[in-house]
């Protein structure tokens, strides 16, 4: 059995009921074979054995009182996965589907994503099965305060720096930050995604969506193409989707779908102007359903289907893990789609990714495509350390350079290790090598 297979079997044995974690580990391990052949020292140092096992896993009770005066209890967790190249860094997800396997898959991905940004950030992730949808501001505040009352002892600006993910936006980060400051009597950059008047960075809300488009531009450039005149389909309409639309419009493309778990809207003219303004607040502020967009503008609502049946040049899944199955992938290819960029984390199932690669589709994996979010979080940390803030244009220019560098690292590594044009293999190897070298230098820890 190969080293990689051997490690994967151990991971399966230890994490049997965590399919998303196994899926993420399997994809990364398979990509690493060519790199491991050239670096036998990693096997000797047990790098893979260590990199698949979180450094620390924290699971805690989050009791809170709802508006009716009843006690509710959620489960909170934080996975501190790898700190070889910097403090643990990664978002918090509040969604009823959250479980340990999902947070571990996200934390594992974050290790390599953060390494790709070129900034000094380790990998971590956290969250809760709390559902902010339908809760009052006061309930969300009480939940966040209770969550932080346990988490504060495990985090810090130089230890572990959480941020947002699904269900955690500016409002939640504010409540979490306020409680941290109160408990520790310390005003420090312990969270990113903060508001502008209390340590946040200009450009952080836009970063994941803009960064995705900058990465897509790099992919298209490799084939002598641009975004001008391209039709894009996306699936979400939260922080990532809305700013992605804004940047795509600026560069001459149009985005013609949004959706949620109940269906999708097709807007053939493209989401722009007052329609985009309406959309910006729909989820991020009001947590309303995608169908409300169709109703507001007299568009067709297609229930129980996903937007991947709509013909497009570029498909960008922006919602959540495993939202694109192999059937969707075949349909996209058959309808003439030539580029797929994962803006959500691991939105394409493994066989969907295979379909894209077999069909020579430009395929950008999430840990490269959506790294702009955490990259600007890294820039927020730098600004907090300097007690200084950069202008929007300064942050945006840095983001652009970072995204181009990520594309270059991934495509160069793919070529160097004999898998030219395969950005999945390239991103995994480029991120891994940086972390593995740091682990080698630091001894067996």
Q: Is 376 in contact with 389 (CB distance < 8 Å)? A: no
Best CA proximity match to 417, nearest among 434, 406, 429? 429
146 touching ligand 2IT, by CB under 6 A: no
Of 83 and 231, which has the nearer Cβ to ligand 2IT?
83
CB of 423 to ligand 2IT, least distance (A): 17
Q: Across the chain, how many H-helices and E-strands are there?
A: 17, 13
CB of 151 to ligand 2IT, least distance (A): 15
CB of 231 to ligand 2IT, least distance (A): 26
Instruction: Determine the Cα–Cα distance for residues 89 and 86; give it in Å rounded to an integer.
Output: 8
Helix (H), strand (E) at residue 301: strand 301-303
Span interacting with ligand 2IT, options 87-95, 228-236, 267-275, 278-286, rule CB under 6 A: 87-95
Span interacting with ligand 2IT, options 30-38, 46-54, 373-381, 412-420, rule CB under 6 A: 373-381
Helix (H), strand (E) at residue 431: helix 423-441
CA 97 from centre of chain: 16
Span interacting with ligand 2IT, options 89-97, 244-252, 270-278, 392-400, rule CB under 6 A: 89-97
Span interacting with ligand 2IT, options 127-135, 323-331, 370-378, 414-422, rule CB under 6 A: 370-378
For 146, residues 6+ apart whose C-beta sits below 8 A from its C-beta are 62, 63, 64
Span interacting with ligand 2IT, options 83-91, 173-181, 329-337, 410-418, rule CB under 6 A: 83-91
From 104, 113, 125, 398, the catalytic residue? 125
Site size toward ligand 2IT (CB under 6 A) is: 11
Q: Which residue has tokens 């340590």?
A: 199
377 touching ligand 2IT, by CB under 6 A: yes
**Is there a catalytic annotation at residue 400?**
no
Instruction: Determine the Cα–Cα distance for residues 9 and 16; give it in Å rounded to an integer.
Output: 10
Of 377 and 422, which has the nearer Cβ to ligand 2IT?
377
Instruction: Determine the Cα–Cα distance for residues 380 and 389; give it in Å rounded to an integer.
Output: 8
Q: Quick one: which of 192, 306, 321, 384 contacts ligand 2IT (CB under 6 A)?
A: 192
Count Cβ atoms within 10 A of the Cβ of residue 324 and give its class: 0-12 exposed, 13-18 middle, 19 or more buried. buried
Site for ligand 2IT in 93-112 (CB under 6 A): none
Q: Quick one: which of 144, 163, 343, 414 contacts ligand 2IT (CB under 6 A)?
A: 163
Best CA proximity match to 27, nearest among 350, 406, 382? 350
Of 12 and 157, which has the nearer Cβ to ligand 2IT?
157
91 touching ligand 2IT, by CB under 6 A: yes
Q: Quick one: which of 31, 86, 89, 203 contacts ligand 2IT (CB under 6 A)?
A: 89
Instruction: Determine the Cα–Cα distance for residues 428 and 407; give it in Å rounded to an integer.
Output: 12
Residue number of the CB atom closest to ligand 2IT? 91
Instruction: Determine the Cα–Cα distance for residues 287 and 296; give it in Å rounded to an integer.
Output: 15
Site map (CB under 6 A) of ligand 2IT, residues 236-275, x = contact: ----------------------------------------
374 touching ligand 2IT, by CB under 6 A: yes
CB of 373 to ligand 2IT, least distance (A): 4
Of 80 and 231, which has the nearer Cβ to ligand 2IT?
80
Instruction: Determine the Cα–Cα distance for residues 349 and 308; give it in Å rounded to an integer.
Output: 14
* C-alpha distance from residue 244 to each of 211, 249, 250, 371 (Å): 8, 9, 10, 13
Q: Is 106 in contact with 125 (CB distance < 8 Å)? A: yes
The strands making up 362-364's β-sheet, listed across from edge to edge, are: 254-255, 231-234, 314-316, 339-341, 362-364
345 touching ligand 2IT, by CB under 6 A: yes
Q: Quick one: which of 90, 126, 132, 170 contacts ligand 2IT (CB under 6 A)?
A: 90
Of 114 and 249, which has the nearer Cβ to ligand 2IT?
114
The DSSP annotation for 310-342 comes to S--SEEE--S-TT-B-HHHHHHHHHTT--EEE-
Span interacting with ligand 2IT, options 67-75, 85-93, 136-144, 293-301, rule CB under 6 A: 85-93
Count Cβ atoms within 10 A of the Cβ of residue 300 and give its class: 0-12 exposed, 13-18 middle, 19 or more buried. exposed
Of 98 and 294, which has the nearer Cβ to ligand 2IT?
98
Q: Which residues does the annotation mark as catalytic?
A: 125
Which spans of this chain sit near ligand 2IT (rule: CB under 6 A)?
89-91, 113, 163, 165, 192, 345, 373-374, 377
């Amino acid at each position: 059995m190969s080293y990689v297979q051997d490690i994967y079997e151990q991971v399966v044995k230890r994490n049997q009921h965590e399919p998303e974690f196994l899926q993420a580990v399997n994809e990364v391990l398979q990509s690493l074979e060519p790199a491991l052949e050239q670096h036998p020292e990693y096997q000797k140092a047990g790098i893979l054995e260590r990199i698949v096992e979180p450094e620390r896993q924290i699971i805690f009770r989050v009791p809170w009182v709802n508006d009716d005066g009843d006690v509710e209890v959620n489960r909170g967790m934080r996975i501190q996965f790898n700190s070889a190249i910097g403090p643990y860094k990664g978002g918090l997800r509040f969604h009823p589907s959250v479980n340990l396997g999902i947070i571990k898959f996200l934390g594992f991905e974050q290790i390599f994503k953060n390494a790709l940004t070129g900034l000094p950030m380790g990998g971590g992730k956290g969250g809760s099965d709390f559902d902010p949808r339908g809760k009052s501001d006061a309930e969300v505040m009480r939940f966040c305060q209770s969550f932080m009352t346990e988490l504060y002892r495990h985090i810090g600006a130089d230890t572990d720096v959480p941020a947002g993910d699904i269900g955690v936006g500016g409002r939640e980060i504010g409540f979490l930050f306020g409680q941290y400051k109160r408990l520790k009597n310390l005003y420090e950059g312990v969270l990113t995604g903060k508001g502008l008047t209390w340590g946040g960075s200009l450009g952080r809300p836009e970063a994941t969506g803009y960064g995705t488009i900058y990465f897509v531009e790099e992919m298209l450039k490799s084939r002598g193409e641009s975004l001008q005149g391209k039709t894009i389909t996306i699936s979400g309409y939260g922080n990532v989707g809305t700013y992605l639309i804004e940047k795509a419009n600026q560069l001459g493309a149009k985005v013609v779908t949004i959706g949620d778990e109940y269906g999708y809207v097709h807007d053939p003219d493209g989401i722009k102007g007052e329609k985009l303004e309406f959309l910006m607040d729909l989820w991020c502020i009001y947590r309303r359903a995608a169908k409300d967009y169709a109703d507001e503008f007299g568009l067709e609502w297609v229930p129980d289907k996903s937007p991947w049946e709509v013909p497009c040049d570029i498909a960008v899944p922006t919602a959540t893990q495993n939202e694109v199955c192999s059937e969707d992938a075949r349909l996209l290819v058959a309808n003439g789609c030539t580029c797929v960029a994962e803006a959500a984390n691991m939105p394409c199932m493994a066989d969907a990714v295979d379909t894209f690669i077999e069909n020579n589709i430009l395929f950008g994996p999430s840990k490269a495509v959506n790294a702009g979010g955490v990259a600007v979080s890294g820039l927020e940390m730098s600004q907090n350390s300097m007690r200084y803030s950069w202008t929007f244009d300064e942050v945006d220019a840095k983001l652009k350079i970072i995204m181009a560098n990520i594309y270059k690292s991934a495509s160069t590594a793919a070529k160097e290790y004999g898998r030219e044009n395969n950005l999945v293999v390239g991103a995994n190897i480029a991120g891994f090598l940086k972390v593995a070298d740091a682990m080698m230098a630091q001894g067996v820890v």
